[in-house]
Homo-oligomer: A and B are copies of this chain.
Amino acid sequence: MTAIEEKQFKSVDYNDPMVGRILDAAEQCIHRFGIRRTSMGEVARVGKLSRGSIYRHFADKDALVEGVFRRRQIEFLNTAEAALEKETSLVDKVTLSVMLGRENMHQGIFASLAETEPETVAMMLLGSRFYSRSVEFWPPHIEMSQATGEISRDQNLDLATDFVMRLAVSLVMFPDMGASLESADEVRDYLQRAITVGLGDY
């Protein structure tokens, strides 16, 4: 097994308590100093563990940073998933997701990184890796919506997921793209239209 292959197959076990400690320390460092000014040694010091332990669980610094944001995203998707259970319609679910997504962008690690290293954040947001993780989030909700008759039953699941994803991502990243869509009510009305009838007649 070559080094390259090994790196690909290696995946992080988020249940391992040591991994948790490493990621906690790394997140704290990135939050305070940014990615560039965070060293593996500093992470080790903050987490009160050895540098070697970090390299046991993460191939390199990139993998560690990736791990931090991956965990954050998983956590976000879980909280979002929980919050969504109160909503019945797909439109309300997407609306809530957009509002939660915006909130998430303007606080915590994202907000601080955007201040210290905006180019890094920009690169992350434009990378497809970032969204690919959220894709699996929607299909169950799409299917539920099809079951209740809110949206068409003969819509292809992948295409519908893609459509919802595009709207959600776009609304989180660009609150204003011509029309003002700041408040939850404005977003809901907009999505109601977009999702149920597009630009066609009611």
Residues of A participating in the B interface, judged by any CB pair closer than 8 Å = 90, 118-120, 122-123, 125-126, 128, 131, 135, 145, 151-152, 154-156, 158-167, 169-171, 173-174, 176-179, 181, 190, 193-202
The majority secondary structure among interface residues of chain A is: helix
Q: Are B135 and A162 in contact (CB under 8 A)?
A: no
Q: Are B199 and A200 in contact (CB under 8 A)?
A: no
Q: Are B155 and A199 in contact (CB under 8 A)?
A: yes
- A198: B residues at CB distance < 8 A: 151, 163, 193-198, 200
- Say whether, besides A166-B167, A196-B198, A197-B198, A178 and B123 are in contact (CB < 8 Å): no
Of B155, B173, B176, the residue contacting A126 (CB under 8 A) is B173
29 A-B pairs with C-beta separation under 8 A: A119-B119, A122-B125, A125-B126, A128-B174, A131-B174, A131-B177, A151-B199, A151-B200, A152-B197, A152-B200, A154-B201, A155-B199, A156-B179, A159-B193, A160-B199, A161-B178, A162-B179, A163-B198, A166-B170, A166-B174, A170-B170, A193-B198, A195-B198, A195-B199, A196-B198, A196-B199, A197-B197, A197-B198, A197-B200
A151–B200 CA distance with the chains assembled, in angstroms: 5
Number of copies of this kind of chain in the complex = 2
Q: Which 5 A-B pairs have the closest CB atoms?
A: A119-B119, A198-B198, A122-B122, A162-B179, A162-B178
Expressed in whole angstroms, the minimum distance between the Cβ of A129 and any Cβ of chain B is 12
> Which of A122, A151, A169 is most buried by chain B, counting CB atoms within 10 A of its CB?
A122
